[in-house]
Structure 1
């Protein structure tokens, strides 16, 4: 694919996303909502003549929502470390200092 063709394709994708976003925003405002929901995007796709995309978009939004829920349940690496906030900060300073020292030494020969 040539650079020009790639650039045109990217421009078309950006324009499509802007069009759908704008329509979803209009729908959201008509419903007196404050946040665009996946259903607003689905309705926007229908109104713009792309009903065949709605099922896949809503399924993907549902999958994303489930992934976010599972991430929230996991404990963070910081919590898993068993170290206090002060110990973690000291370790971070030590790692930054090691990286700075390595950078200042220059490339290995």
Structure 2
């Protein structure tokens, strides 16, 4: 279910409420930013997409204790296997800043990647 349908508040109000929470949820906040531009955004579906990526990464990292090796393995997974990349052709494309777009297109700017 789309979390935004559970709350009749505007995306800006939802973002403000999330920012004031003692349990800060950065994923929720990033998706709420997207909700302001994409009112039909299914936040729960986007979370599932992130959970799937996390699960794929976790399976690769489970047996590795070295932090540098884990960072390299995560980078290889996200950029080589999954196909995320920096949008070098159109860095200022607004879609590079919306987490839902980055997940769909596998293209973004460093902060969203």
Give the TM-score taking structure 1 as reference length: 0.32
Rg larger in 1 or in 2?
1
Structure showing greater relative contact order (alpha-carbon pairs closer than 8 Å, 6 or more residues apart): 2
Instruction: Please state which structure has a larger fraction of its residues in helix.
Output: 1
